[in-house]
Chain A
Amino acid sequence: MLDARVWLLWALSLLLIASYARNPLYGIVLLLTTLVVGSVCAPDREGPRMPLSPLRFALIAIPLAALFNALTVRLGETVLLQLPTWLPLVGGPVTGEGLVFGATNGLILTVIFSSFAVFNRVIPVRDLIKLTPRAFHESGVVLSIALTFIPQTTRSLQRIREAQAVRGHRVRGLRDWLPIIVPLLVSGLERAIGLAEAMVARGYGAVADAGQPVRNQLFLALGLLALLGGWLGYLFMPAQRGIAAGFALAGAVLLVAVLWLAGRSTVHSVYRQRRWRVQDTLALGGCTLALAVALTQRGALYYAPYPRLAWPAFDPLIGLGLLGLLLPAFLPLDEEERL
């Protein structure tokens, strides 16, 4: 297992690169990368937390995006068919270029979805909690519980639908959802209360009861004010940009300091403290390489089929650079250190 922070960087890099890339060939490279990394690195965790597989997402997203773009964009020279102009919004020529550009967008969406699906699957809930700053430890726990609540709610929805179906219930209109929504909400609420009781009975939040000192709250407010004021000043007072930037910077520093202080005062210990290892450095390097290539070659990543469809250019060196993101799949996974 790699460090959770490396995985976070991996997912963010993919997000960033995907947001630049409109070249379908690079898009395919990225998609394959996420799929390979996902199948190699995601341990056989029971009960996937993602309701939709990336491939299924692609089957929906790509045709939909292609259709939408083709029907709404009038650019391009390869006219496939002419829709009557009196039709609102969609009337006019439907071009092959529009279709291709839309499909590429769908592909990029799939890449983003797939990278999050992988991130979601490789990171156990405990590491998600660890990714949150220490000052927010409690909120991190709550957030991760919300994540585990999703599959449970899906299951009770299924159960309740069946229970209502056996008394002859059929969903025809909006009102017919009432017999399903009411038990779902009530059972969800009951489960939430039960979990809250169970957590309190296990001493959750016991040590954090002291509360944050007033000083911290004051500094937090000041920091936010400075950051916001500086940012506004930067935007609207071009003459004093330097001063405004200084303000924003000071605010940011103050915020980080307060969070660090607050984090020190929340007491809890960590069960699996893992050391930074060579594999982490290598994976980090891979991400950095891909990021560097993408940021320097932004132009090459972009491809527009307009005005006339042409085969997109593919630079093997850039492709190779992007493969840095594939590195997590090839790092030896040794038995996890527990301390």
Chain B
Amino acid sequence: MIHLEQLSYTYPDADRPALSAVTLDIAEGEFVLVAGASGAGKSTLLRCLNGLVPHFSGGALGGRINVAGYDPVAAGPHILSRVVGFVFQDPEAQFVLDQVEDEIAFALENAAVPPAEMRLRVEEVLHLLDLTALRDRSPEALSGGEKQRVAIAAALALRPRILMLDEPTSQLDPQSAEEVLHALVRLNQDLGLTVILVEQRLERVLPYIDRLIYLPTDAPVISGPPREVLRQIPLTPPLITLGKALGWEPLPLTIKEGRAFARQAALSAEVRVCPPDPGEEALRVDTLSFAYNGAAALNEVSLSVGDGELVALMGRNGSGKTTLLKCIVGLLRPGQGDVRLSGQSLKGQTTAEICRKVGYLPQTPDDLLFADTVADELSVTLRNHGLLGRPPIGVSDLLTRLGLEGQRTRYPRDLSVGQRQRVALGAITVTRPRLLLLDEPTRGLDYQAKRDLVRLLREWQAEGTAILLVTHDVELVAEAAERVVLLSGGQIVADATPQVLASSPLFAPQIARLFPSHRWLTVDDALSALCPEAPAPHET
């Protein structure tokens, strides 16, 4: 179906190739996952397959590509659009029209498909992706998972034989991501559609795939059945890490496969549940309520975060997590209730005043970046607060801690996702806040960048910084949080140690699903209980 031979590609003005000497074969009907650290060329590889590279991007391409008998370089993306459907990361950025049905028909209209045929095909994909009930809605108003399903339907309308998706679930909460993945699995199994998926969180996809392609930054591509490839690569989800460490054979890919091993391995070992020991109260939220134009978003929310404590705030999209953070920093004014910082009420203070003491990282860190260099980005914040003459923390020290000392004079927007996020983190922590509010900091990060972030948070915690973390990432919570607050419909439904996640059908991390009768959450928990002498698989 797809055959690549010695494919190399260099973007215009880039000093090193994005892809070098990639040789690959993908058979018809395979479900393929493309993995690799960010910047390894995953998106570039997909774009080579439908001709967007080099037709859209320019640059120098070498080697041979064959996709279903076409040469994308010679034929161009227009011709390839009949063979390859493409779905992008941000569902919103790909919509043209304002009704689901029209959006799906758009590609057909442009391909001059006769109306009767068009009607049939639109109906077909609406059914395939379970969108019939949403046909007259505006894509803008749908949930994240629904939007992405519309995007898939629109890509399928031309009846391509290959469907390619570039991180389609990175912006979605776990439930919506599940919904999208199930749709893909059905398409692959029922229609025999070849699916090629780029995804950061391997654990979500591993159970379904036939082939795993790993793109290292500077080594030949590894491609093959998932078990074989997983043995050779560093990025591994908790289940695989544990399986490797305990020598489980064949390596389990699903929780179900893993449980068979777990039953034999599990002893009566109980994990330590260290009772959280919060320091002085850093943040106290008291019966806070907020409504958007009369629609209640937060209802009498009360919580506290101690000095040096990391509290995770979880809940589905729209449960009020971001609203709560905005109320704390004064971007939204709560209708009722009070926010206290180290005992002092924040009432009547401006956002600028509050943010000298509180660091708030918004969901899209790119929104912060505008300066010419990384160092400037930090000094702008200092200047805003009138602290330029007497910075509470040295700009160089902070950059070193963030691992950005080499990027000091670079243009922030040229950096990788993980680095850009650390620049944004620097821009909000240069005032040395005692409280950090982070809104989904791991979105779009690869395993390495995530590990770096956890290490950074640990360091700040050790210095007594209180951290309130909004996230969908259960594995992150299992690893880093002392306490979890679950928000649902604007109300707090749980406030407990992360062990509360173990029994939650929505939020349980992989290890908890594997050992349901124990209270383990992370690979380290399980390993230290099962074989205390084994070295930790990775340092965090």
Contact = CB atoms under 8 A, between A and B. Distances in A.
Q: Do A and B assemble together?
A: yes
A201 interface: yes
B362 A201 contact: no
Given A46-B141, A206-B78, A159 B116 contact: no
B107 A204 contact: yes
A59 interface: no
Among A152, A164, A186, A187, chain B packs the most CB atoms within 10 A around the CB of A164
Contact of B97 (A125, A167, A273): A125
A87 interface: no
Interface stretch (B59-67, B363-371, B456-464, B496-504): B363-371
B317 interface: no
B352 A170 contact: yes
B427 interface: yes
Interface stretch (B79-87, B170-178, B288-296, B305-313): B79-87
A268 B88 contact: no
Contacts of A205: 78, 110
Contacts of A16: none
Contacts of A253: none
Interface in A167-209: 167-170, 178-179, 182-183, 186-187, 191, 194-207, 209
A200 B368 CA distance: 30
A202 B98 contact: no
Among A169, A178, A186, chain B packs the most CB atoms within 10 A around the CB of A169
A167 B381 contact: yes
Interface string B359-383: 0101010111110000000001100
Interface in B326-360: 326, 329, 331, 351-352, 355-356, 360
B410 interface: no
Contacts of B97: 124-126, 144, 148
B137 interface: yes
B256 to A, nearest CB: 36
Given A203-B78, A204-B107, A125 B118 contact: no
Given A124-B98, A200-B52, A269-B118, A207 B110 contact: yes
Contact of A168 (B118, B331, B385): B385
Contact of B111 (A170, A186, A198, A203): A203
A261 interface: no
Interface residues of A, number: 55
A169 B102 contact: no
A141 interface: yes
B106 interface: yes
Contacts of B119: 271, 338-339
B273 interface: no
A205 to B, nearest CB: 7
Among B78, B96, B115, B326, chain A packs the most CB atoms within 10 A around the CB of B96
A168 B383 CA distance: 9
A206 B55 CA distance: 13
Given A168-B352, A183-B369, A271-B122, A141 B331 contact: no
Contact of A182 (B50, B326, B370): B370
A162 interface: yes
B102 A199 contact: no
B327 to A, nearest CB: 12
A164 B110 CA distance: 41
Nearest to A266: B112
B94 to A, nearest CB: 4
Nearest to B90: A194
A116 to B, nearest CB: 17
A197 B107 CA distance: 13
A232 interface: no
A202 to B, nearest CB: 4
Contact of B78 (A168, A209, A268, A269): A209
A268 B118 CA distance: 12
B428 A167 contact: yes
A126 B110 CA distance: 13
Contacts of B77: 200-201
Contacts of B109: 268-271
A170 B384 contact: yes
A11 B208 CA distance: 54
Contacts of B246: none
A202 B427 contact: no
B102 A198 contact: no
Contact of B368 (A163, A270, A339): A163
Contact of A268 (B101, B102, B110): B110
Contacts of B94: 194-195, 198
Interface string B103-132: 001111111111110110010000000000
B219 interface: no
Given A159-B362, A183-B366, A206-B110, 4 more contacts: A152-B92, A167-B380, A187-B367, A198-B94
Interface of B: 50, 52, 55-56, 77-79, 81-82, 84-86, 88, 90, 92-99, 101-102, 105-116, 118-119, 122, 137-138, 140-141, 154-155, 158, 326, 329, 331, 351-352, 355-356, 360, 362, 364, 366-370, 380-381, 384-385, 413, 427-428, 431
5 contacts: A141-B96, A165-B355, A202-B154, A271-B119, A338-B119
In the A-B complex, the 10 residue pairs with the smallest Cβ-Cβ separation, listed nearest first, are: A168-B384, A203-B81, A46-B141, A198-B94, A163-B367, A271-B105, A182-B370, A206-B78, A201-B86, A202-B107
